[in-house]
Structure 1
């Protein structure tokens, strides 16, 4: 069986993180929760639910993801994973759909899979207007500049570990997801989108739930797209 590890960035997700961990299928070798300087019981609850818990004091989604990758890189080569899955800690995704996300990698040797939050599978109110528009604009531009078929920047995603290393990820904050997709296109990785269900998160979003977060995320995403369009 391939080794699959899950990285979950989490900031103050004490109520949702045990539910996320509980619903992750048993095919996963290790669940790594990276507490992004949480001030509640996120770390204790994640540990009690059976996850490996890391702490990243620098706030930022990318910082947390990179911390998880740094931890994995410390394993001996034979213990390093075949597949990395990224998943949010707010319980807006359905963790049990992880088997669908990794299936194209396991069965068809696809390099990279994104869970697409398609409208027919989304709970009402689970994505804000700015989120929906931002996803539409970003993927439209990727289609225009790179002939991409992406329709979403969904955070629920899986990638072959070596391909992830080859991307040399660097974004520390809101641009992590779009950076991964743009670099996958640039490096001509094989990719696929899998429609996934999406529901209202537990708690308030730290990005789309604030005007400041939504603006910063939009600027960062568009910045990455235009940077790679003229590179």
Structure 2
């Protein structure tokens, strides 16, 4: 890093819908090196927002349901303060990821100048049953298509990821719902950004998944992911 360049600040965005049982655990495990934790309460009907505030997080409310809506809300908040080399980490609020691994996730950006790092559950250690069959199969299909159409090698569309603010602005994220993660990856490939994957640990989430835990959610997510891959070619 250039000696004249300011050390990057690290912001964590956590989209959360009815994660009152897990959000406190997630926040508690985030390393102290993080500058600010932003929990986006996505129209929760429980006390997710209250618990997040109690743990010291900045809490934003987004009443339009959708993973992408939540992430965009967090980005809009950060845009008023972030510098180009600051790092944005996206992390789920269900405690399936290991927040302490943020240190590993940002390391390739800090030490090797990568623009984006995807935390791969496929490459890492997974608790038995933490990923359902439809998640594993969907990941394989999506990453195979990305390799075919974009010549970019990924093993996972995992939500645990880090990206510089400059790269995130270049990508110009638009998706409001299930296509968020894959949109970021295919656009990064199209822009020839410097990206990599690292193995991350994964465990059974607290509570039931709103996506893979239901037939409707699985179908809608699968459709949106495939649509996003093809429309960005």
TM bucket, shorter chain: over 0.9
Match of 1:51 in 2: 57
Correspondence for 1:60 among 66, 81, 84? 66
CA contact (8 A) 2:27 2:55 kept: yes
Number of residue pairs aligned between Structure 1 and Structure 2 = 227
Match of 1:37 in 2: 43
Distance in 2, Cα, partners of 1:207 & 1:64: 15
Correspondence for 1:9 among 6, 10, 15? 15
Matched, 1:175 2:179: yes
- Structure 2, unmatched stretches of 5+, are 1-6
TM-score of the two chains, using structure 2 as the length reference: 0.95
TM-score of the two chains, using structure 1 as the length reference: 0.96
| 1:60-92 Cα distance to aligned partner (Å, 9 max, x none) | 0000000001111123x66x7710000000000
After the TM superposition, which segments of 4 or more aligned residues of structure 1 sit over 2 Å from their partners?
Answer: none
Match of 1:222 in 2: 226
Match of 1:71 in 2: 77
Distance in 2, Cα, partners of 1:99 & 1:93: 13
- Structure 1, unmatched stretches of 5+, are none
Correspondence for 1:164 among 168, 184, 196? 168
CA contact (8 A) 1:118 1:197 kept: no
Match of 2:98 in 1: 94
Distance in 1, Cα, partners of 2:71 & 2:150: 25
